[in-house]
């Protein structure tokens, strides 16, 4: 069995070690957080005398005990490691405790006396907007003249849409173990998507150079964006305690803590206006987005920027104007989550497409088709980038054929006409998702590949394996490019001491950026060894073939030289067996001042269709069938890519139908556990789920002609929400707007708007 296979097999036998499973040194302390129970208030006094007397307590730290900077904002300097004068959300850390046992830590926490003068928390997004509580400047885009667009339209609609947030609910909560070493360095095992940023934040807080902080990430139990910046908390807290006590400290959040402390997908309130013609074509679209960013900026600026760059989804809109406001509230700081702002923006334009269908009487799929970007005309996005690799129309045709759409629409009509309380609905949703970090400098990666004398190969790169199959793909890339059997390839844990200054494994770029770096390193290594082998075996460089851990001449394929033999000889001849490489994504740029540029290396496109049946007595629904045609390029591993599509779809289905963050009027998250926050279970998936990978895209931009797959398929889940809207429309054509998530309660409220 090769390493990649063994890694997965270990999941099934319970051998995989996540952070909390690592054998800890015997003297490891338990790290614990004293959290604010008030959403907004001034800390008047803190008394830890009683708490310190608890047996087994080793340290109780406040912000005053932080040797370096009490600031850990990822982009802006607005996020304290520990609260200073004010608390700004329920769950915010005020003190840290290290103790010999959990029992002692909890006991000590219960004896801490914190007096906080409670003030009115800011919880309403409109109020925040009215008070201009923006942690950074709002974002704007203008393209074309929306006003004349509205004037020249047959119809103009206006509306408001409320889009809920979403908890990541990675199955493994955030956690880290920090181990101080005798030489003044620190070793941190962290469940993070961004080891380099953990390192940087720890460095700032402890006032120690980055080079002395080794962050290791081996395997993480799901991330989805929720461990990009949010992993910084446990990493820095456990490090502060560890250095203070000079003992290892383990800090793994329990589920409730994780849900209270860490940020979520941004809830958004949108006001939109759209103008379109009788033929269903949209002329003009203006909107105002209010993003609930929580108490600090975190990554919100980039997230809102990605929303701005996905207002159009797959559609050509001649005139666009949008103002997107970051609204501060006294909640945990909302953050990256699969899609990174794009899902909220796309939800709005897809909702508008559905409304256009309703107003014009043109079938919803046909409305979408008529608005898709063109191949030669109507193919420039509002921010100026040309949609070069546009296969949207081809994907649409393939889906229409493979899903038997026309016939099913007929059947649905027939069903709806004879069923009083149950109605069916169907909806198509395409996606065009921009690939690259919109913050251009993040689009870089590095790799180190080491050959050993026996011919085995070790790979180091900056990406984190969080279940998405990055390691499998990297091994596959190395194996194919070097012509080495997978059994002889090993991939190493992500380690800040080996690959420095990495970008987060995020924005669907993990395989592209790190895979390209690995390929470049392999290319150089191979080039050097090719010269050596050519000499050694007397084979013309042009004829030399690397395959299955052998080298041979194309002209004499029966004489194969084993790779281990070649490498051994190369070593003796003093040829370097190690290579480092660096990759940056070419050709991308974006001017934030004017919202113009070519921010994306390429787009990933696809199209989905879901059919639902809604029971209008109970508001419940079932997804009867989902069809997806997704462009994965020349997929490196179709099984992995299908898994990404299925998982992303169900995650979005959860966001759009059942997952709801409910807060009380004090700002406390009431749904802070899986008992009340419901993610989809096994009974909630489509009864029939057909996914096909589209292989005919002539544009081959990604690594080994593959295409990024992490985020784009999330959008497909919107088809469930809009199919429900279609069903509601069959039940009551005068229904009210359908906010997201479309819970049973919302479905009934929308459906019965004119009845009772």
Does residue 82 contact residue 63 with C-beta atoms inside 8 Å? yes
215 Cβ partners below 8 Å, 6+ apart?
188, 190, 192, 195, 196, 198, 199, 202, 235, 495, 496
Ramachandran category for residue 735: left, alpha or beta (phi over 0 → left; psi -120 to 50 → alpha): beta
What is the residue-wise DSSP string for 701-750?
Answer: -SGGGB---SSGGGGGGHHHHHHHHHHHHHH-TTPPP--BS--HHHHHHH
Closer to other proteins by CB, 19 or 539: give it. 19
711 assigned to active site: yes
Closer to other proteins by CB, 294 or 680: give it. 680
Closer to other proteins by CB, 482 or 655: give it. 655
Closer to other proteins by CB, 275 or 647: give it. 647
Least distance between other proteins and beta carbon 28 (Å): 12
Least distance between other proteins and beta carbon 110 (Å): 8
Distances, alpha carbon 491 to alpha carbons 1, 176, 470, in Å: 14, 22, 10
Closer to other proteins by CB, 234 or 650: give it. 650
Least distance between other proteins and beta carbon 436 (Å): 24
| Farthest CA pair distance, the chain | 89
Q: Positive or negative, the Cα torsion across 553, 554, 556, 562?
A: positive
* Element of type H or E holding 46: strand 41-47
Least distance between other proteins and beta carbon 640 (Å): 7
Least distance between other proteins and beta carbon 547 (Å): 26
Closer to other proteins by CB, 280 or 469: give it. 469
d(CA 560, CA 571): 20
What is the residue-wise DSSP string for 314-333?
Answer: TB--SEEEEEEEEEE-SS--
C-alpha Rg value of the chain to the nearest Å: 27
Closer to other proteins by CB, 9 or 115: give it. 9
- Cβ of 420: how many Cβ atoms within 10 Å? 9
292 Cβ partners below 8 Å, 6+ apart?
125, 128, 165, 266, 267, 268, 269, 327, 329, 331, 334
Does residue 123 contact residue 666 with C-beta atoms inside 8 Å? no
What is the residue-wise DSSP string for 625-655?
Answer: EEEEEEE-BS-S-HHHHHHHHHHHHHHHHHH
Q: Which of 88, 481, 579, 711 is flagged as catalytic?
A: 711
Does residue 243 contact residue 42 with C-beta atoms inside 8 Å? no
What is the residue-wise DSSP string for 501-526?
Answer: SPPPS-TT-HHHHHHHHHHHHHHHHH
DSSP-derived 3-state class of residue 109 = helix
Closer to other proteins by CB, 227 or 266: give it. 227
Check whether the bond before 156 is cis (ω within 30° of 0).
no
Cα angle for residues 649, 650, 651 (degrees, 5° grid): 90
Least distance between other proteins and beta carbon 623 (Å): 12
Least distance between other proteins and beta carbon 659 (Å): 9
d(CA 270, CA 746): 17
Assigned token pair, 536 = 């050694």
Assigned token pair, 431 = 């996606």
Closer to other proteins by CB, 542 or 617: give it. 617
DSSP-derived 3-state class of residue 584 = strand
Give the residue carrying structure tokens 């494994």.
505
Closer to other proteins by CB, 204 or 265: give it. 265
Closest CA to 653 of 618, 628, 679: 679
Report, as residue numbers or ranges, the catalytic residues: 711
């Amino acid at each position: 069995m090769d390493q990649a296979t063994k890694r997965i097999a270990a999941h099934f036998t319970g051998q995989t070690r996540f952070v909390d499973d690592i054998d800890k040194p015997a003297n490891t302390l338990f790290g614990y957080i004293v959290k604010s129970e008030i959403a907004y208030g001034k800390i008047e006094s803190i008394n830890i005398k009683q708490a310190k007397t608890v047996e087994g307590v080793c340290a109780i730290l406040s912000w005053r005990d932080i040797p370096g900077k009490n600031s850990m904002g990822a982009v802006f300097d607005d996020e304290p490691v520990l609260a200073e004068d004010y608390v700004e959300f329920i769950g915010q850390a005020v003190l840290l405790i290290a103790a010999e046992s959990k029992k002692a830590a909890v006991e000590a926490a219960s004896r801490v006396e914190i007096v906080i003068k409670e003030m009115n928390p800011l919880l309403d997004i409109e109020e925040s907007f009215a008070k201009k509580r923006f942690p950074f400047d709002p974002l704007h885009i203008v393209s074309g003249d929306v006003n004349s667009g509205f004037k020249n339209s047959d119809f103009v609609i206006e509306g408001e849409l409320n889009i809920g947030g979403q908890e990541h609910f990675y199955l493994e909560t955030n956690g880290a173990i920090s181990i101080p070493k005798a030489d003044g360095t620190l070793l941190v095992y962290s469940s993070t998507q961004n080891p380099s940023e953990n390192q940087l934040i720890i460095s700032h807080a402890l006032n120690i150079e980055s080079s002395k902080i080794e962050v290791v990430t081996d395997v993480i139990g799901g991330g989805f964006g929720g461990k990009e910046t949010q992993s910084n908390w446990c990493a820095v807290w456990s490090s502060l305690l560890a250095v203070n006590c000079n003992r290892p400290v383990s800090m793994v959040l329990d589920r409730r803590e994780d849900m209270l402390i860490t940020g979520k997908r941004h809830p958004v309130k949108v006001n939109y206006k759209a103008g379109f013609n009788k033929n269903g074509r949209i002329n003009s679209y203006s909107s105002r987005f209010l993003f609930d960013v929580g108490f600090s900026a975190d990554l919100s600026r980039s997230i809102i920027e990605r929303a701005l760059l996905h207002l159009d989804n797959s559609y050509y809109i001649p005139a666009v104007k949008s103002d997107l406001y970051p609204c501060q509230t006294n909640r945990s700081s909302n953050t990256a989550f699969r899609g990174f702002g794009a899902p909220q923006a796309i939800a709005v334009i897809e909702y508008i497409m559905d409304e256009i269908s309703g107003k014009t009487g043109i079938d919803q799929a046909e409305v979408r088709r008529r608005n898709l970007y063109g191949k030669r005309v109507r193919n420039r996005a509002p921010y100026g980038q040309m949609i070069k690799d546009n296969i949207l129309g081809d994907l649409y045709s393939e889906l229409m054929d493979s899903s038997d759409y026309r016939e099913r629409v007929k059947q649905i009509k027939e069903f709806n006409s004879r069923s009083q309380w149950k109605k069916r609905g169907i909806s198509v949703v395409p996606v065009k998702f921009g690939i690259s970090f919109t913050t251009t400098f993040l689009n870089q990666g590095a790799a180190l590949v080491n050959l050993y004398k026996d011919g085995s190969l070790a790979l180091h790169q900056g990406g984190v394996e969080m279940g998405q199959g990055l390691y499998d793909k990297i091994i596959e890339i190395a194996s194919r490019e070097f012509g080495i059997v997978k059994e002889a390839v090993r991939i190493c844990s992500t380690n800040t001491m080996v690959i420095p200054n990495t970008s987060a494994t995020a924005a669907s770029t993990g395989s592209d950026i790190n895979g390209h770096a690995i390929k470049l390193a392999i290319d150089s290594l191979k080039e050097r060894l090719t010269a050596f082998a050519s000499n050694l075996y007397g084979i013309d460089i042009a004829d030399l073939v690397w395959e299955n851990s052998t080298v041979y001449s194309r002209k004499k394929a029966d004489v194969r030289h084993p790779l281990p033999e070649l490498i051994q000889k190369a070593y003796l001849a003093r040829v370097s067996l190690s290579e480092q490489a660096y990759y940056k994504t070419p050709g991308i740029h974006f001017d934030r001042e004017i919202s113009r540029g070519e921010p994306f290396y390429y787009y990933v496109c696809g199209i989905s269709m879901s059919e639902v049946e809604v029971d209008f007595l109970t508001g419940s629904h079932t997804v009867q069938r989902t069809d997806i045609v997704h462009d994965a390029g020349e997929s490196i591993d179709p099984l992995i890519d299908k898994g990404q599509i299925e998982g992303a779809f169900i995650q979005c289905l959860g966001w759009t139908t059942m997952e709801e963050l409910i807060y009380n009027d004090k700002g406390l998250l009431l749904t802070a556990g899986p008992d009340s926050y419901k993610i989809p279970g096994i009974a909630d998936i489509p009864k029939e789920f057909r996914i096909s990978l589209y292989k005919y895209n002539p544009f081959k931009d990604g690594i080994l002609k593959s295409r990024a797959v992490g985020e784009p398929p999330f959008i497909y889940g919107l088809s469930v929400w809009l199919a429900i809207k279609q069903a509601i429309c069959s039940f009551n054509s005068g229904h009210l707007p359908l906010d997201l998530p479309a819970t049973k309660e919302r479905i009934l409220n929308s459906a019965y708007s004119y009845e009772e």
